[in-house]
Every structure is written in C-alpha cells, then in structure tokens.
Structure 1
C-alpha cells in the first residue's frame, strides 16, 4: 500500500496533552449536556416548553455559559493536538484528526465507565449502599462510546469486512465494490435522517428524560447524537473512498492485525532481557540462543 510522503510520523508515546484534552473536553461537555435544559430555556422560540422546563431546571448561570464557550474551544484544541499512534491509519488530514480525537474521547469514556461500574460494585456489595445513578450513567456512557467509536472505526477502516471475493478481483472491480458500499452507507444515513429527524428534534426540544430516580436526559441526547454520528460516518466513508481510490491493490491476511512497531518493541525488550525473540503471532517465546546441552 502506497501512502503520501507527507504522512506524519507516528508518536511513539502519548504526550500529556493527548490525555488532558479529551478529559478536559469530557468534563466541560458533560457539564453542557447535563445542563442542556438551561440553554433551551434561554433559546429563542422555545416558549412552548419553557414553562415546563423552567419549573424543573431554572435559567442558565454564568458557569453554564462559560462551559458552553469552552466546549468548542477544547474540541478544536484536541483535534489540533491529536497525534497518530504507530498502529493507526497513516493518513492524517483534518477529517482524520477529528475522527481520531473523537476516538480518544471514546477511549477516555471507557475508563470512566469502568470507574462507574467499579464504584457501584463496591458500594453495593461491600457497603450495602447501592446508588440510584450508576446503572443509568453506565447505559448513557455506553451509548456514547458505541457511537463515537463507530466513527473512529470508520476512519481506521477497521469495521468487519469479508475480503474473500474482494481480494481476487482486479482493482477496477474493487473500486466498484467500494463505491457500492459507500453508496449503501449514504442510503442508510439518508433513511435514518428521513425517519428519525422529527423524533430526535422533539425529544431534544422538550428535553426528554429517562423517567427514573436519577432521570438523566438519555432520550434527549442520544437520539440527536445518533443522527450526528451517522452523518459524520457517512462523510468519513466518502472521504475514505476518495483517499483510497488510487491505492495499490492489497491482499489481506492475518498478518494485517500485527502491529509492526509493537512487535519491534517486544523484540527489543525480550532481547535486552536475554530471553529470545518473542513471536506474538504464535503467543510464545522462541529461543534464539542454543541450549548449553545441545
């Protein structure tokens, strides 16, 4: 596979800013989402639902507006500071950076989800004091992770694909398959918008909640997010089609799943320890030094 000479070098280790930016964005955007009803009350044209919302939530305060201003700034900084790791796709233009940073957000959300579940297990089974919010929070986070990771997987070309027929076809037939698959993605996105836009808009404008004791606004946030992410996935599919159009044919094999950079580091580490060369494809260590009794 040929790539442009302008492809940036992959970062061997993550810098502090790559951890800070996703976490900072999650905290600020989480504040915005949790207080979303406050913004709807202040928005023009929301008179129909304003009375019901204001009785429960109240008006947006200075911290709400600061968070709303900071959220896009942190997102832009996160996209600008995103770095490609050795195992990620080599193309790294602006749309790729956006998808990769969204992937970083999904990764941080996984850690938060694990923390929430761990807290609930300890609280429930050690202290006999289960929470009212952990179950809904876990569900909410899992939906965000699933959707955001889907966009990242599209940018990385890592969705499940069956190459049995694709690999034996000439390049022009492969391009035809790529066009058809991209067209089907666009058709799916169009039909989803056609059938789901009105429902997503209504749930968002009335800030529909989950109806539990914790009562998070899962319907109000998840329904619109589905449409936004599907639109981004469709755009990323078009971008992938354009970027991959002139690539040389690639024959896929099990070796595609091997990270050469990680394999090199493992070999260096094992060699320094004097054990031998680790063959990660077989999951065992191959001794490169002859035994003393041979």
Structure 2
C-alpha cells in the first residue's frame, strides 16, 4: 500500500508517543490472553426448547420464555457468584448483550444473549487457542495516524442494524451520532456507537487494508468522550481486532455499510497469525 496520512503533529514527543502505545498494547494483549478471555472459549452452544448437553460442562441446557435453564443431575454442581447451584435452575430472561458467568472447576461458563438468541460459551485456560497464542502483529505506531475530528450527534439515537460474524445473526445498536475527520486531505465520517466508559464512543470499520494486511471483517476503534465543543481525537494506531478475528465461536458485529473507508489505514492491529 502507498496510501499515507498527512495528519501529523510537529511538536509531538514521538518517543513518549511510542512508549504510551507500547504500554497500552501490552495491557490490551494481557486482557486478551486472560485465562478465561475469549481465546479460552471452547465452543458456542445456541440454546433452544430442547435440552442439550454441552461438551465440557455439566447439565442439560435449554431456553424459553423464562430464559436459560440448566438441569443438573445428582453430583453435578455449578456456582454463581460463589453460590452453589443444583437441580433445575431457571436464570430468567436476559437482556440483549447481557449475560453472566457460572463456574465449574477450572471452566468459566458464559451465559448470554446475542442477536436475540441465548447462548452458552465455556471458557477453559487449557484451550489450545489460548495456550498457543503468541501475540497479534501490528503496524509500527506512527503519529501520522492521529486524526482530529468532530462529533456530530443525531437529534436522537438511531437504531442501526448490522450483520454479525455468526451467519444469519444481526445486531441492533443505537447510534448516537457520527464522527467527521480528515485524513490525506479527504474528509470522512464514521457512524459511532456508545463505548464502555460514560460518554465514550467506538467505531466499527473496514478499509482498503481489510483482507490484505488486516482482518477482513472488521476492526474497532475506541474514541474518548468528545470535548465540550464536540472535538475528538481518532488514534488509528489503537485500532484493534474483535474476537471473531481469532475464533469461530464469536458473534461480533460487522461495520455498518457507511463505515467502509476507501483508504488504507495502515495502523493498529493486523490479521492475527491464527487466521493465516
């Protein structure tokens, strides 16, 4: 790729910038490689009316109007927040993108709702994907991939339907607005969604590197809460992969159509070695 960004900051301390990025990425990789993170997911089970067994965990699992249900036989045990569960357990309806964690020995069991479906995902620290993980390749951090932008809120949040890494699944997010920014002398906009921290945002996007040097389906960029005048900073050096870049047991959302950037963002995380 020969595309370059023209946004640079002459007064920026490049050494400090590099150190900050290294510290951030080490922390990000540590969370990714947690003993019970998404690299530890051993399978995904889609619950239905008929009770089913799930490899590696006790019980028969199903779902219905009362939400997920597990039926444990004598000798089976799960714990939730330290409380022992036995027999038939009804967990109650889950909210979209909600869920909780159960424990069985060394296995953590995610029970969640994604795209209108109740799912179960066991996570075990001995799962080969986690054990063999050696890190994610990245572009060398470069300040030219810092872009100043402006948050443009909608009059009211817009329900936005996006696809999923799981075939046939869709997600609906309430988009509070867009972020407009400039790279290489061109102006672009990204639809953004609420982030984890209060007031923060995130954008799902693809670009001209997607499917070449970066993961084809999506990348995610966290954006700090806008300033009082609406200004934001987009640091594409911190564009990261979602779980679906590593495992087929993910239900990650795909970017909305308008977030497919026509330029190459040669920054942030590249395609994981696990997908080559």
Give the TM-score, by structure 2 length: 0.23
Structure 1 or 2: more helix by fraction: 1
Q: Greater share of strand residues, 1 or 2? A: 2
TM normalised by structure 1 equals 0.22
